[in-house]
Amino acid sequence: MLPLLKTRVPGSRSRAQARQLRRHECQNTTFVSANWPIFWERARDCNIWDADGNRYLDLTAAFGVASVGHNNPHVTAAARRQLGRLAHAMGDVHPNELKVRLAGELSALTFERWSRSIGTHDSGKTLFANSGSEAVEAALKTAMLATGKPGVIAFTGAYHGLTYGALDATAWSFFRAPFHPQLPGFTVHVAPTESAVRAAFDQNERGIGAVIVEPILGRGGVVVPPPDFLPMLRRVCDECGALLIADEIFTGFCRTGRWFAVEHWGVVPDLICVGKSMSNGFPIAACVGRNDVMDAWPESAGEALHTCTHLGNPLGCAMALAAIGEMKRQKLDERVRQLQDRLPGRGLGFMKGVELPDAAACQRVVQRLLRRGILALGGGERGNVLTLTPPLTIREKELDFAAREIAQLTK
């Protein structure tokens, strides 16, 4: 369904809720102005309804989460069923069967699938997490255990999350600067070139155990690397005895037209981090690694070295299994490949960025789109990239409508 606005945007209810929020939420969290934000009340597929009854077309999938459509009936039914049975178990002590199934599914979708294509018989093991940042930290800890080397290489422009370990890997000075004195400092940030990566390996005295990379920069402004970049990283990691960590928290699960973005370059990482759209709306994420890499973790003797209260939450696992089922049933990887050119901008699949002159120009477009009933976000380290990541189920007429509106506002 196309947008239907009943009031000026944001309407009076959204504005009243924003004023309330300012009183009780940390003032750094939600940006509030006369024109921002709208308060979401309900959603279905690519449509969002706000507190004032306005209907919007969502080109964000809410940070890339709602890949199989908001309130997807299969995912919602699975959540309802599970909520009626068991909302929480004892993650690493007395777990629930759905954790077994989801870990098996993640192995099948990653290392088992990938190894079949290169004629080996690998499989994967999972460490569950509640957020993408935690999945990244699980991967960094795994690399430390597996290689004994504490150093990590990450790339300028990359975003890996904001908890301290993940923030150490995130290069953006905006997020790092206020906390710099508290950051652990195990990461070397380099430009995405072979000479910079090799120099970082050569110059790091304590040893580099991992290279972490977003196959396509997401929050960094939807930047697709040159064709030889990821294969080069694979080669250099192998030569230098380091693990390659693919941060597919944004790009994973069909977003770019492949199940995982590394598949565009035929590269198999040692560890992959996933989150966001895995459950289509429950805070659950995972670090999946090749068996032999993950077996660097000692077998539990009763106390896990890395766990958390909600680890492998049954509701999250039920939603993830249903969401993955929907991606398969609707063949969303193929659909996204077929329709990707209908969404404007650079990028792959339904992950596109339209570069604008500066952040102010991008914000103007985002605001004007909102007032026309289209939700989009700015991205890029300079804030100048209109970022488009709609649900992968978006209809063709919705895509064409969005493309027309964006063309008008950005010409």
Ligand X SMILES: Cc1ncc(COP(=O)(O)O)c(C=O)c1O
* Only segment of 52-60, 78-86, 148-156, 159-167 that touches ligand X (CB under 6 A): 159-167
> For residues 219 and 264, which CB has a smaller minimum distance to ligand X in the complex?
219
The reply on whether position 349 binds ligand X by CB under 6 A is no
Query: Which of the ranges 37-45, 92-100, 111-119, 212-220 carries the binding residues for ligand X, by CB under 6 A?
Result: 212-220
Output 3 or 161, the one with its CB closest to ligand X: 161
Judged by CB under 6 A, the number of residues near ligand X is 14
Is residue 133 close enough to count as binding ligand X by CB under 6 A?
yes
Q: Which is nearer to ligand X, 37 or 283 (CB)?
A: 283
Is the Cα torsion angle 160, 165, 171, 175 positive or negative in sign? positive
Site string for ligand X, 274-293 (x = CB under 6 A): -x------------------
CB of 184 to ligand X, least distance (A): 17
For ligand X, the binding residue among 99, 125, 189, 219 (CB under 6 A) is 219
Q: Kindly give the pairing relationship between strand 208-213 and strand 151-155.
A: parallel
Contact residue for ligand X among 155, 186, 229, 250 (CB under 6 A): 250
Of the pair 25, 202, the CB lying nearest ligand X is at: 25
218 binds ligand X (CB under 6 A): yes
Q: Does 129 bind ligand X (CB under 6 A)?
A: no
Among 3, 151, 161, 314, binds ligand X (CB under 6 A): 161
If the CB atoms of residues 3 and 91 are measured against ligand X, the closer one turns out to be: 91
Q: If binding is defined by CB under 6 A, does position 3 make contact with ligand X?
A: no
Q: What is the number of the residue whose Cβ is closest to ligand X?
A: 132
Tell the smallest beta-carbon distance from residue 377 to ligand X (Å). 11
- State which residue, 58 or 398, has the beta carbon closest to ligand X: 58
By CB under 6 A, name the one of 3, 132, 157, 391 that touches ligand X.
132
* Nearest distance in Å: CB 400, ligand X: 27
User: 185 CB contacts (<8 Å, ≥6 apart)?
Assistant: 168
Piece of the chain touching ligand X by CB under 6 A; list 2-10, 158-166, 197-205, 350-358: 158-166
Considering beta carbons, is residue 220 or 373 the nearer one to ligand X?
220
44, 247, 284, 365 from 216: Cα distances, Å: 28, 9, 22, 23
Taking alpha carbons only, the member of 262, 263, 284 closest to residue 274 is 284
Stretch that binds ligand X, among 149-157, 179-187, 246-254, 357-365 (CB under 6 A): 246-254
Give 136 or 356: the residue with its C-beta nearer to ligand X. Answer: 136
Tell whether residue 131 is a contact of ligand X (CB under 6 A).
yes
Question: Which residues between 134 and 153 bind ligand X (CB under 6 A)?
Answer: 136
Nearer of residues 319 and 409 to ligand X, judged by Cβ: 319
List the one residue from 62, 79, 188, 249 that touches ligand X (CB under 6 A). 249
Q: What's the Cα-to-Cα distance from 187 to each of 306, 326, 330, rounded to whole Å? A: 21, 37, 40
Report the interface residues with ligand X, using CB under 6 A.
131-133, 136, 159-161, 214, 218-219, 247, 249-250, 275
